């Protein structure tokens, strides 16, 4: 009955996990560049299930540990989307990780288990509302530490198996081999969790060699030799793994990782020391458990070893950082595990406190016919996952998957693999530069140095370097109907970059509306004196600027310029002088009643001639001069659009 009931309860947890995944599968919480790089590697694996050495589109991901990416590619094959595969795997890792934590806590004696699980849930509520420490699950919020989260899920699942084995039977040779194999697999996923697991395994070896070396001299020698073999094998499985040298090289890169409550190494060391203390307390309590109950307190040993391993590794990483090895970025990545372990250990200590003075129950929490703990486990597991998941999404997964399918079709039918010019994805409607960059390096195989233009500025550098642009149909500034190819897929089209380059050398036609915002694409040579395009328009930069366009047969008689003067602090007035041909008009603007547009009469101009509208801003001033910010541009007016009538 006990085994059947345990299987039933685990099945309920799995069902709840599946429901939570389904309800969150359309939510993506990160638009980090890490998302783009992990997706690119998984996508490249899914194409041929192997990698071409030195692929210039994925750069350092050529030698990145790829176990998690292979798993994501397999899921992508099942669900017909690598992006969905990588997102699903991150959600699965999240629920496996926290499900393992709750399961291990439930193996404690019933009263300790119940109070510990309830205390953990309460602490996580407090953290969500007040403390705001980054715990496991935050790896995919803002940043996208995909491989690290998957590996952490593997480690907690392995510890769950270890706890289950020790509760129900003695450790065997096969169990030692399992742990060594587990260390090797996790190392091929991400080094940081692998080192944590290695620390736990070495701790188990030392404890077991110490407590189980009894009997004859030969028996003791045989026991020591066996545990020495396990330890050496585990160390070799880590340090001789090809992923070790790759991850060590990557750890030298000092990336950006903002931790709300841990600004630097000093606070990180404090957190590590605190975790080390509570972990040591768990180990002492476990060691002092009676022989009849130590099996049912084995969770204390594993969480104690796990917390101690994380704390020691973090402190070692910071010490090495002082000698010029590694990076603060790599050290900060331990914060997720440290904060999580602090809450878990504190919850267990609370459970033990409420159990003091009472006889320790001789059964683990999953035993017997009492269903109260089972309901608590399910309710707490559900609540914890909901607490861990970010409150607001940044992307609809379904939208990205739809674009993924369209781009793959366009690539397969419309792009020449032998082209010497770069193909690029840019200007996808409602998508950030990160998503454009992601699809560029993954689907279009844009070389990293060219794709960086898309990522950093959401614009193309030298357009003559590109062959084909994949962009949203009808969406400025990267779509032009006269340059679009006949091949299209849904809302995405192929645009000939050579055609675009030729059209950009010509001035705009003096007709209709010229869009100066980031949604439009203006020929920079035709608008000297203007800064870069922003969401609301372009600022004039300097005390003079010009707008040149070509006159067609339908000559406009007037032009309407929508604008906004630059005002700040005591700088409350601006003058604008507009010259077209021999005519000149002057406008004065005050902060109290500045108009939103001006109308200018245009002289007669012959067809096929260029018309130039010259702007002078004698009162232009830089934000730095005005005391606003360090911007040194000399700003006069923000031009939103120029409309010919």
pLDDT digits (tens, 9 = 90+) for 422-446: 999 998 988 988 999 999 999 999 9
Crossing angle of the two packed helices 372-388 and 82-106, in degrees rounded to 10 = 140
Mean pLDDT of the 168-193 span: 85
The HSE-up count of residue 368 (CA atoms within 13 Å, CB side) is 14
pLDDT in tens, 382-412: 999 999 988 778 889 999 999 999 999 999 9
Residue 4, pLDDT score: 38
Closest CA to 35 of 385, 455, 469, 406: 455
CA distance readout (Å), 271 to 52, 157, 211, 306, 400: 43, 24, 31, 15, 38
What pLDDT, in 10s, does the model give residues 267-287?
999 999 999 999 999 999 988
- How far apart are the C-alpha atoms of 622 and 633, rounded to whole Å? 5
Is the confidence at residue 296, as pLDDT, over 60?
yes
Average pLDDT, the chain: 86
Lowest mean pLDDT among 4-18, 354-368, 517-531, 586-600: 354-368
In the predicted structure, residue 212 carries a pLDDT above the cut 70: no
* CA angle, residues 216, 222, 227, in degrees to nearest 5: 130
Residue pLDDT, tens place only, 130-149: 989 999 999 998 889 999 99
**What's the pLDDT tens digit per position in 410-423?**
999 888 776 788 99
Structural domains for the chain = 2-150+262-380 (no CATH), 396-504 (no CATH), 508-644 (2.60.120.260)
Q: Highest mean pLDDT: which of 221-225, 234-238, 245-249, 517-521?
A: 234-238
Ranked by mean pLDDT, which of 142-156, 250-264, 553-567 comes out on top?
142-156
The model's pTM: 0.81
**Residues 378, 131, 376: CA angle, nearest 5 degrees:** 15
- Least confident interval from 202-206, 209-213, 496-500: 209-213
171 pLDDT exceeds 70? no
pLDDT at 5 over 50: no
The predicted pLDDT at position 364 comes to 45
Q: Which letter does DSSP use for residue 380 in this model?
A: H
Please say if the pLDDT value at position 524 is more than 80: no
Confidence (pLDDT) at 213: 58
Residue 369: band (very low, low, confident or very high) from pLDDT cuts 50, 70, 90? very low
Please determine, for residue 2, whether its predicted confidence score (pLDDT) is greater than 50.
no
pLDDT-derived band at 85 (thresholds 50, 70, 90) equals very high
The more confidently predicted of residues 81 and 457 is: 81
Would you say residue 373 has pLDDT above 90? Answer: no
CB 154 within 8 A of CB 148: no
The per-residue pLDDT for 362 is 45
Which positions ≥6 away from 366 have C-beta within 8 Å? Answer: 2, 5, 6, 9, 106, 107, 373
CA atoms within 13 A on the CB side of 641: 13
Give the tens place of pLDDT for each residue, 18-58. 999 999 999 999 889 999 999 999 999 999 888 888 898 99
| DSSP-based three-state secondary structure for 319 | helix
Burial of residue 26, with CB atoms counted within 10 A of its CB: 0-12 exposed, 13-18 middle, 19 or more buried: middle
What's the pLDDT score for residue 214?
59
Residues 6+ apart with CB under 8 A from 110: 361, 363, 365, 368, 370, 373
Rounded CA-CA distance 119/343 in Å is 9
Report phi then psi at 407, rounded to 5: -65, -35
449-465: per-residue pLDDT in tens?
889 888 887 777 777 78
Confidence label for 104 from pLDDT (cuts 50, 70 and 90): very high
Q: Would you say residue 220 has pLDDT above 80?
A: no
Q: How many helices (H) and strands (E) does the chain have?
A: 19, 17
Query: What pLDDT does 38 receive?
Result: 96
Average pLDDT rounded to a whole number, residues 525-534: 85
Kindly list the distances between the CA atom of residue 435 and the CA atoms of 212, 272, 582, in Å, as whole numbers in the listed order. 56, 36, 49
**How many Å apart are CA 363 and CA 293, to the nearest integer?**
8
Instruction: Name the more confident of 293 and 84.
Output: 84
- Angle, to 10 degrees, between the axis of helix 298-322 and the axis of helix 335-354? 150
CB-CB contact of 223 with 209 (8 Å): yes
């Amino acid at each position: 009955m006990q085994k059947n009931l345990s299987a039933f309860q685990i099945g309920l947890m799995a069902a709840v996990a599946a429901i939570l995944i389904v309800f969150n599968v359309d939510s993506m919480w990160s638009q980090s560049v890490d998302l783009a790089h992990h997706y690119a590697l998984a996508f490249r694996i899914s194409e041929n299930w192997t990698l071409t050495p030195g692929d210039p589109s994925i750069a350092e991901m050529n030698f990145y540990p790829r176990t998690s990416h292979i798993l994501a590619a397999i899921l992508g094959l099942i669900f017909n989307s690598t992006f969905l595969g990588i997102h699903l795997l991150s959600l699965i890792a999240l629920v496996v990780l926290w499900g393992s934590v709750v399961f291990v806590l439930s193996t404690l004696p019933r009263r300790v288990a119940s109070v510990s699980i309830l205390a953990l849930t309460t602490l996580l509520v407090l953290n969500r509302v007040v403390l705001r420490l980054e715990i496991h699950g935050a790896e995919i919020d803002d940043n996208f530490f995909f491989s690290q989260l998957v590996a952490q899920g593997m480690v907690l699942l392995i510890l769950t198996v270890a706890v289950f084995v020790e509760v129900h039977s003695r450790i065997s040779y096969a169990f030692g081999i399992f742990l060594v194999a587990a260390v090797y697999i996790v190392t091929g996923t991400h080094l940081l969790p692998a080192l944590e697991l290695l620390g736990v395994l070495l701790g188990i070896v030392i404890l077991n060699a110490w407590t189980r070396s009894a009997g004859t001299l030969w028996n003791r020698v045989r026991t020591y030799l066996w545990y020495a073999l396990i330890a050496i094998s585990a160390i070799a499985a880590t340090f001789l793994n090809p992923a070790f040298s790759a991850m060590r090289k990557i750890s030298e890169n000092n990336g950006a990782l903002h931790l709300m409550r841990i600004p630097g190494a000093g606070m990180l060391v404090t957190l590590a020391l605190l975790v080390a203390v509570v972990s040591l307390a768990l180990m002492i309590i476990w060691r002092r458990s009676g022989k009849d109950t130590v099996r049912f307190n084995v969770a204390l040993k594993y969480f104690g070893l796990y917390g101690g391993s994380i704390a020691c590794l973090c402190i070692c990483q910071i010490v090495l950082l002082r000698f010029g090895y590694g990076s603060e970025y790599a050290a900060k990545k331990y914060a997720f595990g440290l904060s999580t372990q602090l809450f878990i250990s504190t919850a267990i200590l609370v459970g033990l406190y409420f159990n003091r003075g009472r006889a320790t129950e001789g059964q683990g929490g999953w035993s017997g016919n009492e269903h109260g703990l089972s309901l608590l486990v399910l309710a707490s597991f559900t609540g914890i996952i909901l607490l861990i998941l970010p409150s607001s999404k940044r992307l609809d997964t379904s939208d990205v998957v739809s674009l993924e399918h369209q781009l793959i079709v366009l690539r397969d039918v419309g792009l020449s693999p032998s082209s010497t010019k770069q193909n690029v994805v840019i200007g996808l409607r409602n998508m950030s530069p990160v998503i454009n960059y992601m699809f560029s390096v993954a689907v279009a195989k844009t070389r990293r140095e060219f794709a960086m233009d898309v990522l950093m500025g959401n614009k193309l550098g030298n357009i003559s370097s590109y062959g084909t642009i994949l962009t949203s149909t009808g969406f400025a500034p990267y779509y032009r109907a006269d340059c679009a190819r006949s091949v299209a897929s849904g809302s995405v089209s192929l645009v000939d970059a050579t055609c675009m380059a030729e059209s950009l050398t010509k001035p705009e036609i003096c007709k209709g509306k010229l869009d100066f915002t980031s949604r439009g694409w203006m020929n920079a040579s035709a608008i000297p004196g203007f800064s870069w395009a922003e969401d609301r328009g372009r600022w004039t930069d300097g005390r003079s600027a010009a707008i040149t366009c070509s006159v067609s047969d339908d000559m406009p008689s007037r032009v309407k310029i929508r604008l906004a003067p630059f005002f700040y602090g005591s700088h409350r007035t601006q003058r604008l002088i507009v010259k077209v041909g021999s005519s000149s008009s002057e406008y004065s603007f005050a902060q109290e009643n500045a108009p939103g547009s001006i109308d200018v009469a245009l002289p007669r101009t012959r067809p096929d001639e260029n018309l130039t509208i010259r702007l002078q801003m004698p009162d232009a001033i830089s934000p730095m001069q005005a005391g606003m910010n360090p911007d040194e541009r000399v700003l006069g007016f923000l031009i939103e659009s120029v409309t010919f009538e």
